[in-house]
Homo-oligomer: A and B are copies of this chain.
C-alpha cells in the first residue's frame, strides 16, 4: 500500500494550512532564526510557536540546527518544491496528459 506518500502529503499541506506556520517558513527560507526570535513576531506563547516549528519540521519544511543553547531553524526549499510538484501533477491530470492515472487515483471506476 502506497500510503506513506499520502501520509507525507497530508503532513505537508496541513503544515502549510496555517498562516503563522507559513510566516515562520517564509522567514526561515530567507535566513536562520532562533525559536525565541520567531516567537517575538507573533502574539502567542513561546511554546505555541515551538509547536508550530515542530509541525513544519515533521512535514520536512524546515530543519533545526543547534548553536549552543539556541535552535536555529532554516527552511527546506526542496520540500516546498515537492509540494509544488504534487500540484503540477493535478494540473497534468486535468490536461489529460497523465497516462497511468491509476497511480494517482485511489480506486478505479
Contact = CB atoms under 8 A, between A and B. Distances in A.
A108 to B, nearest CB: 9
Query: How many copies, total?
Result: 2
Main secondary structure of the interface of A (DSSP, over half): helix
Interface string A24-59: 011101100000010011100000000000000000
B30 A101 contact: yes
Contacts of A106: 19, 23, 41-42
Q: What range describes how many residues of A lie at the interface?
A: 35 or more
B75 A30 contact: no
A23 B17 CA distance: 18
A92 to B, nearest CB: 10
B30 A96 contact: yes
